[in-house]
Every structure is written in C-alpha cells, then in structure tokens.
RNA sequence: GCGCCAGUGGCGGAAUGGUAGACGCGCUGGUCUUAGGAACCAGUGGGCAACCGUGGGGGUUCGAGUCCCUCCUGGCGCACCA
C-alpha cells in the first residue's frame, strides 16, 4: 500500500475574492501535492471554507443581504477563482463550516467536551468589544484593543462558556519539543503564551483574623525582603473592604494612567502579617498588579524587583536588601547569596527556594506552585452567524446541555440584523422552546461559538465530510496527523494552539492515537508591493503610476507621486494586484513560477512587474525549446538531467521552491548552450515530469503534443551512478588561500596529484624555498598545502 | 526591557566548515529583425595591479559567510507575567 500524505493549506475565510496571498499559499501546497502524487503516495489535499464569522453580518447590514446568502455566493465565486488556478484539490472533500452538515457535528463535539468536563460555564470578567458588541478571547485582545475593530476593550462580568484548555497546558508545552518540523519561532511564541513558571504560593494572614491572602511568587527566596502587599483592583478582597462606589472611583483613577506605566496605589486600612517575621506590612491596591495572572496579588520586595522598587520609592516604603549585592545595583533581581534572612542566610537562590518551600510546607503557610499564564478559552460570542451552542435554559435559570439525539440546533434563517448585537436574542420564535424531556418552557442559548472552534477540527472532518458523526476514529488514527500544513504565521498562537488542544481533548474522549494534528508546519511569507502616494497623502494604485526621467507621476492627472516602501498588499494602501487579472495576462504557469521564484517561500515576496514578466519569459522559453528540431544527446547530458531530477526533488522536499526555479533555468541554460534539443524521449520525458509539479499546464500540454500522453508516469527514479561526475575540479590552496583549480579524476591518489601540482608555476612560485610541512587532503574536495 | 530571527554585489537571493556571489532581476555593449511585455551573443563584487571582499571587533581551525564571544543595525513576537 502506498504511504499517505496529508497536505493541507489553511482554508480561507470566504470574503468574496481570493488575493495574491492565497495564491502563493495554495501554489506552495499544490507543488508538494503534485510531487507526492507522482511519487505514488496516497495524497489527501482538501479545500474548504471557514465560513462563519462577523464580516458576513457586517456585510449583510451594509449591502442589505443575508449572511448566509452573502457567504454562499462568496464561496461560489472564490471556488471558481481557485479552479481557475487549476489546483489539484480533492473537491469531493469540500466543507463549509456554516453548513449544517458541519456545525451539527461540532455541536456533538461540544457535548462530548461538556461530558468530559472540558466545557463549562461560569461568570467571568471578560473582554467586551464595544464596536462588535461581543466578547473576545484573551488571544483576540492586542494591546488592550479588539483584534478586528481596534476598539478599546472593556471589562464586563458575563456568564460565559469556556473550554478547559488549561487542563492541557503542560502537555501543550512539553509536546512542542516533539514538533521537530515546526518553525522554532512558532514554538517559542506558543511557549511564551502558555507561560509556565515555577515558584511558590504563600499564604499571608490578614491582621485581626480577617482571613488569608494567597500570593504566587517565583522568588520565595526573597520573602524576608517583603515590605508591602499589592492586589489588583479586581481582587475579591477589595470588595470586602471597599464599597462599589469607591472601587469605581479607583478604577477611573487607574484608567487615567492608561498606557504609560506610572505606578499608583491606594493603601487599604488593613495590614498583613509577614509569614516569617513578627511584623505587619501594608496592603495596597495597585494598578500594576495583573488580575488575570497568578492570584492577582503580589508581595512587594523592592530590593530585588524593579517594579516593586519603583512603587516603594513613590510611597516611601522600606527597601530591605536580602540578596548580597552592591547598593548601587539595587534593585538587584539576579542570583546571589541570601542575607538578612534568618532561615536562608548564605544560601544561593535555588537552595534558598527549596529550603523556604520546605519550611512553608511544614508550617502550612505555603507550598510549591507551578503557574501558567494561559487561561481557559472563552468560546461564547454574542453573534448570530456562528455555530449555535446546544444548551437550553429553564425559567429558574438552570440549564441543560442537549443530548446528541436532540441535534442539530439549526441557525434560523429569518432574523433581523438591523440592530446592533445578537440577532438570535431578538428572535423569540427561535429562542423560546419546549424542553422535550421535562416539557417545561425553555430558552435556547443565544450565544454562538467562537469561529476558532470551527477551524480547530476541520482537518479531521476533511477525512470524511459525509459521515453521520463527526469522524471515524479508525480513519483518524490511520490518516492523521496532517503531514504538511501550510499557512500564514499570523495563526502562530490562536488557531494552532486551539487545534492542538482539540486534538488532545478528542484523543482522550475517543481514545485516539494521535497527539498532534500537524506534523510539519510551514509558514509562508506575505506578498509585498511598492506603495505610492500623492503629496496629499492619498494612496495611489501602482498601475496608475508612470515613471518619466526617474519622476513618478499619476497617469491621468500628471500629479507628482512619491514612491514608498514595499509593504504587505492591502486594499487600504491600494497596492494590491488581482489574481484574476494576472492569470488572464500571464497564465497559470507563469503566475505559479513567480509565486515561488524570487524569494524562499517562508520569506516575503516582493511583487514586481519585472518578476512576473520574467516568469512568463521562462515559460515561453521552455515552450520554444521543445519546438526546436531534435538532435542527439550524450552521456554528459544524461548526467545533467539526472542531477536536475535529484535537485528538484531535494528542493521540493525542503520547501526550497525558489531553488527549484533556479534548477529549471540551470538545465535549460545548459541544454541551449550546448545546442542540445533532446532527441531522447526518455530524457525529455524526465524533464517534463519534473516540471509538472511546478508548471502543470505547460508540461501536460507538451507531454500530449510530443508524446501523445495524457498523464505523467511516476517520478523518475534516480540512478546514483550518473549523479556523481567522475571528473572533478579540485581547488588547491596554500595556507588556506585558493591558488588554482585542477581538473582530475575522482578517487585520485594523493601522491600522484601532488606531483602534478608541484609542477605548476603558480604553485612553485608561491612555495618558493619554504618547506612544506603538511598536506591537508580532503578527498575529492580540496587540497591545502601548509608551509613553514 | 525580555525572547527569537536576520545582516552576503545596484536588487531578490545561492553556498553538509572546503573554489563566496548558483539562479534570477537590473545594467553595459553587440546581433537579428514583418519593432516585441521579444529573442540571441558577450560582459557585469571592488581595484590599473599585487590583492581586497559576506555589518564591526576578537577567537577556534590547515581552512570561517557558516562555529564561539562581543558590539552595532534591522525585522518579528511578548511586554508591569511577580
């Protein structure tokens, strides 16, 4: 049986039109897929649509259409565009996440997750995007702003559904090491996001028997230097000592500080006992304490923490040095000998940490603690165009997650989208229902699932998109993981982390044997293009710009135009080129060549007119080559063709597709230089076969016209004897500097070649009357003569 | 601030520690033309030369673009993570 290869490109959001970024992404995948098919592998290469999401709702309002109609017609159009690209895709595996046939099985998975304790509901302080009127996951908040709207995110308490991704924090972290074929960069980003840190949780007793305060620290060795406690404004202790009005006032005060990192604090009227010393230390509410990390509370050790130091200076709190260092180095956060700490004096950091944790363990005042930055994944979205969450609520506020037999919960078509917010909430005829089990009046959950849930398992559904359950475990075990997953780096955390979590959760629920969904990840670079502006800072499309005497001006008006840097193609900067136009002008093969030729696929590619034109010239040249009158090849040609096959294969496998293009130029440069127009059917067929993954249209049509064949046979097997030249050019160095290059046979004898070398004038002159002390002979590679 | 990655001709980029600049673009000169978004030929790192050249400085090595240390510059990510 032939080995399977699952090659997948990230499926697109059906925004209406494909853009050059898609083209590059899908061409890279297509080259791989076509190569593996020629190799005889059982290739899975599906395509689908990430079809739920907010743009559909916005477009619906703007164009007075329906999200579903808008989405489906976009899919239709984009599918046509993709087909025009003639990609070798398994269209029979196609899925769209907004189809009932997809999301009803997602509802099953939700029930599975719930039953496994991995989906739960809680009141939570959430990120509220006031523009989109919906909750955002932590991952979707960037610099305190919504990832799509850029609006300042508000904090709100709402009852929300969560997936317990934190259960898998440790495994998600350690398994990164198994992902040898992922870019280090992505792994580092995920590692930072998971944010594991080891330390201790310490109990601080609040004075006057008013309870305890838990504090997480990575530096329990500095506990003797603690001179204050600081808690976040959202810490529960705050509401015990202050009324809502004053809390609100403090929040406003903190808000005013805003993005600059000034530290301010409000002293509470209570104190904490130091866990080791007979003294009380003050408690502050401080703006720099994060409420979503650790316990939302810290102990301040100004001697050995920069932030605490700054705070202590501002509020005249004592600074106690407990790690040996120069006073001028304070605050000193490094390692060192512990001082001024009765139990720990003289110890180094690690030993001190061990000892103090032991001590706390014994007296019950603390313990070792591993803390993760990652939070559970909030999946509720207050939106219409998403997968309904299969839950109903009763009048008493209790809820029930539906049985699988009660599915699907279909999204109603007939809704009003005019007003802001969630259309499902206003759709009473849908929302109100009768619970079939209890016969009681019930209300459907009106939140829908984050669309990142949709994309967390689509690669599994592709295995069988018609199955009447989410997937077949046997098939999953056989066909997953995805062998090559190709897409943009922008998904380094969100989509890729969620998918990894889903795979692990489903593995545990269904007893699957797959730990990771994507064996190899390849992140392709973006496409950039020069930008042009008028003096009024108006963006101008590149095709409107003409150059005369090194002056840029606008074609129609003659306005002076300034050329800007090459930036990521975007509609707002007007520096996009439309795939349809390019395909019409240059054809599929030239477009494919350009997508991979000018820079390595993982780096950015600058769009240039010269680039696409020279790609077209190459395809023309190949066509011309094969139209010439034939003549005979010789052994050397055979060797060069063999080398070509070998290089192309190596370069496809390592995603060095730019080098594949160089290989194509090299072989045709050689053949034309020697005026060899291949007579040998075998050799020209070999060349055409190797061209097929990259230039499918041209190579197929040549295959047909030259050999009357409709398809290619297998990828050529390489004859290694032909690969290595018997004659080689051997560089000769003296003292490590290149002097000359001699031609010799492979496997020469050292003595013999030296005899010949010493005869050369260049060498004799260099050696002069110096003594040769050593000869470095790296067989078939280089000879280095060392003189005294 | 922390972390990661990268600095090679005019430009994009090649080089398992072993001939730096493959291949392409651009440029220069030429050829051919029913004049093209051609095609073909020659050349193209610097320097008159010996030689010098992979961001700067040091090191390891017979030999460094490649490995180590250090600094500089640029990009990306994270960012008060206790």
| Residues A228-249: tens digit of each pLDDT | 999 999 888 888 888 889 898 9
Name the band, by pLDDT with cuts 50, 70 and 90, for residue A376. very high
Residue in the structure block whose two tokens are 């897409």: A487
| Range 672-701, chain A: CB under 7 Å to any strand B atom | 672-673
Note the pLDDT of residue A465: 97
The nucleotide minimizing the C1' distance to residue A611's CA is B25
Q: How far is the CA of A580 from the C1' of B29 (A)?
A: 39
The nucleotide minimizing the C1' distance to residue A261's CA is B80
| Beta strand pairing call for A782-787 and A727-734 | parallel
Lowest mean pLDDT among A81-90, A550-559, A656-665: A550-559
Tens of pLDDT, residues A669-727:
999 888 877 666 788 899 999 999 999 999 999 999 888 999 998 999 988 888 877 77
| Range 697-736, chain A: CB under 7 Å to any strand B atom | 729, 731, 733, 735-736
Q: Is residue A82 within 8 Å of A47, Cβ to Cβ?
A: yes
Tens of pLDDT, residues A262-284:
888 999 988 999 999 999 999 99
Note the pLDDT of residue A1: 65
pTM over 0.90: yes
Tens of pLDDT, residues A149-201:
778 788 888 889 999 999 999 999 999 988 989 998 899 889 989 999 999 99
The percent of chain A in helix, strand and coil, each rounded to the nearest 5, is 40, 25, 35
Q: Across residues A572-586, what is the average pLDDT?
A: 91
Omega cis (within 30) before A331: yes
Q: How far is the CA of A616 from the C1' of B47 (A)?
A: 38
Q: Across residues A590-599, what is the average pLDDT?
A: 94
Chain B: bases < 7 Å from a protein Cβ: 3-5, 12-16, 18-20, 22-26, 37-41, 52, 62-64, 76-82
Average pLDDT of chain A, as a whole number? 90
Tens of pLDDT, residues A658-671:
999 999 999 999 99
Q: Is the pLDDT of residue A144 over 80?
A: no
Alpha helices, DSSP H, located in A275-321: 306-314
Q: Is the pLDDT of residue A536 over 90?
A: no
Q: Which of A715, A656, A714, A662 is nearest to A28 (CA)?
A: A656
Quote the tokens at residue A574. 């007007």
Quote the tokens at residue A188. 């580092």
The nucleotide minimizing the C1' distance to residue A254's CA is B80
Residue A683, classed as helix, strand or coil, is helix
Quote the tokens at residue A245. 């009005």
Q: Across residues A201-214, what is the average pLDDT?
A: 88
Contact between the CB of A241 and strand B at under 7 Å: no
Please give the Cα distance from A190 to A195 (Å, whole number): 8
Residue A350, Cβ neighbours under 10 Å: how many?
10
Residue in the structure block whose two tokens are 């395509």: A47
Q: What is the DSSP letter of A355?
A: H
Name the band, by pLDDT with cuts 50, 70 and 90, for residue A495. very high
Alpha helices, DSSP H, located in A290-378: 306-314, 349-363
Name the band, by pLDDT with cuts 50, 70 and 90, for residue A652. very high
Residue with minimal CA–C1' distance to B39 is A621
Quote the tokens at residue A466. 């018609």
Note the pLDDT of residue A292: 84
Name the band, by pLDDT with cuts 50, 70 and 90, for residue A394. very high
Name the band, by pLDDT with cuts 50, 70 and 90, for residue A96. very high
Q: Is the pLDDT of residue A260 over 70?
A: no
Q: Side-chain half-sphere of A434: how many Cα atoms within 13 Å?
A: 2
Contact between the CB of A524 and strand B at under 7 Å: no
Phi/psi-derived region of residue A746, left when phi > 0, alpha when psi is between -120 and 50, beta in every other case: beta
The neighbouring-strand residues paired with A495 are none
Q: Is the pLDDT of residue A50 over 90?
A: yes
Q: Is the pLDDT of residue A258 over 70?
A: no
Note the pLDDT of residue A669: 93
Q: Which of A303, A371, A310, A309 is nearest to A340 (CA)?
A: A303
Q: What is the DSSP letter of A421?
A: S
Contact between the CB of A370 and strand B at under 7 Å: no
Q: Is residue A663 within 8 Å of A618, Cβ to Cβ?
A: no
Note the pLDDT of residue A550: 67
Note the pLDDT of residue A764: 82
Q: How far is the CA of A599 from the C1' of B8 (A)?
A: 15
Contact between the CB of A263 and strand B at under 7 Å: yes
Q: Give the ipTM.
A: 0.94
Q: What percent of chain A has pLDDT over 70?
A: 98
**Chain CA centroid to CA A204, Å:** 41
Query: Alpha carbon of A180 to those of A5, A184, A603, A699, A754: distances in Å?
Result: 17, 9, 20, 35, 45
Residue with minimal CA–C1' distance to B4 is A185
Residues in CB range of A750: below 8 A, 6 or more apart: A775, A777
Q: Is the pLDDT of residue A138 over 80?
A: no
The neighbouring-strand residues paired with A388 are A448
Q: How far is the CA of A670 from the C1' of B46 (A)?
A: 29
Q: Is the pLDDT of residue A633 over 80?
A: no
Helix axes A67-84, A579-597, angle to 10 degrees: 60
Tens of pLDDT, residues A318-372:
999 999 888 888 888 888 889 999 999 999 888 999 999 999 999 999 999 999 9
């Amino acid at each position: 049986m032939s080995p399977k290869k699952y090659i997948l490109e990230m499926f697109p959001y059906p925004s209406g039109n494909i853009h050059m970024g898609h083209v590059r992404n899908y061409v890279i995948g297509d080259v791989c897929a076509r190569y593996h098919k020629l190799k005889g592998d059982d290739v899975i290469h599906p395509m689908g649509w990430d079809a739920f999401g907010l743009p559909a709702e916005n477009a619906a309002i703007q164009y007075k259409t329906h999200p579903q109609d808008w989405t489906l017609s976009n899919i239709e159009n984009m599918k046509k565009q993709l087909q025009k690209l003639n990609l070798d895709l398994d269209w029979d595996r196609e899925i769209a996440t907004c189809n009932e046939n997809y999301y009803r099985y997602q509802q099953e998975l939700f029930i599975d997750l719930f039953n496994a304790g991995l989906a739960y509901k809680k009141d939570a302080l959430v990120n509220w995007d006031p523009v989109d009127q919906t909750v955002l996951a932590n991952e979707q908040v960037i610099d305190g702003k919504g990832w799509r709207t850029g609006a300042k995110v508000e904090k709100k308490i709402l009852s929300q559904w969560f997936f317990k991704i934190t259960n898998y924090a440790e495994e998600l972290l350690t398994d990164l090491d198994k992902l040898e074929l992922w870019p280090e960069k992505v792994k580092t980003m995920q590692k930072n996001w998971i944010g594991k840190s080891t330390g201790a949780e310490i109990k601080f007793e609040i004075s006057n028997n008013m309870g305890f305060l838990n504090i997480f620290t990575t530096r329990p060795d500095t506990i003797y230097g603690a001179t204050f406690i600081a808690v976040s404004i959202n810490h529960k202790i705050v509401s015990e000592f202050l009324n809502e009005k004053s809390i609100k006032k403090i929040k406003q005060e903190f808000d005013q500080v805003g993005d600059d990192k000034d530290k301010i604090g409000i002293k509470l009227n209570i104190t904490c006992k130091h866990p080791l010393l007979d003294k009380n230390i003050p408690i502050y509410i401080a703006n720099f304490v994060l409420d979503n990390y650790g316990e939302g509370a810290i102990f301040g050790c100004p001697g050995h923490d920069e932030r605490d130091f700054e705070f202590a200076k501002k509020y005249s709190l004592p600074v106690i040095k407990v790690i040996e260092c120069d006073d001028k180095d304070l605050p000193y956060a490094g390692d060192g000998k512990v001082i001024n700490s009765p139990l720990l004096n003289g110890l180094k950091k690690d030993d001190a940490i061990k000892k103090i944790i032991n001590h706390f363990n014994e007296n019950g005042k603390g313990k070792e603690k591993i803390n993760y930055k990652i939070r559970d994944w909030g999946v509720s979205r207050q939106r219409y165009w998403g997968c309904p969450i299969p839950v109903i609520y009763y009048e008493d506020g209790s809820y029930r997650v539906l049985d699988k037999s009660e599915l699907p919960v279909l999204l109603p078509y007939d809704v009003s989208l005019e007003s802001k917010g969630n259309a499902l909430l206003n759709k009473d005829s849908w929302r109100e229902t009768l619970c079939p089990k209890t016969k009681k009046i019930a209300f459907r959950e009106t939140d829908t699932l984050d669309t990142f849930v949709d994309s967390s398992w689509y690669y599994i559904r592709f295995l069988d998109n018609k199955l009447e359950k989410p997937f077949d475990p046997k098939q999953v075990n056989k066909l997953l993981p995805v062998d090559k997953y190709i897409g943009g780096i922008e998904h380094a955390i969100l989509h890729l982390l969620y998918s990894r979590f889903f795979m692990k959760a489903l593995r545990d629920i269904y007893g699957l044997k797959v730990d990771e969904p994507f064996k190899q990840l390849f992140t392709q670079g973006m496409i950039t293009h020069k930008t042009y502006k008028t003096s009024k800072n108006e963006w101008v499309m590149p095709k409107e710009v003409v150059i005369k005497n090194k002056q840029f001006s606008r074609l129609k008006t003659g306005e002076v135009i300034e050329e800007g840097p090459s930036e990521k193609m975007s509609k707002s900067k007007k520096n996009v080129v439309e795939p349809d136009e390019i395909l019409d002008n240059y054809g599929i093969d030239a477009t494919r060549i350009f997508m991979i030729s000018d820079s390595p696929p993982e780096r950015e590619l600058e769009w240039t007119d010269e680039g696409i034109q020279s790609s077209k010239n190459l395809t023309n040249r190949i066509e011309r080559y094969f139209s010439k009158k034939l003549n005979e090849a010789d052994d050397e040609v055979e060797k060069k063709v063999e080398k070509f096959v070998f290089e192309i294969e190596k370069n496809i496998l390592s995603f060095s597709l730019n080098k594949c293009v160089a290989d194509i130029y090299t072989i045709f440069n050689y053949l034309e230089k020697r005026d060899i127009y291949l007579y040998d059917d075998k050799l020209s067929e070999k060349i055409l076969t190797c061209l097929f993954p990259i230039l499918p249209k041209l190579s197929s049509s040549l295959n047909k016209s030259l050999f009357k064949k409709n398809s290619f046979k297998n990828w050529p097997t390489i004859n290694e004897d032909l690969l290595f030249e018997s004659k080689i050019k051997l560089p000769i160095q003296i003292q490590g500097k290149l002097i000359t290059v001699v031609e010799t046979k492979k496997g020469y004898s050292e003595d013999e070649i030296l005899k010949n070398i010493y005869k050369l004038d260049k060498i004799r002159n260099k050696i002069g009357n110096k003594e040769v002390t050593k000869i470095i002979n790296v067989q078939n590679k280089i000879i280095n003569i060392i003189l005294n």
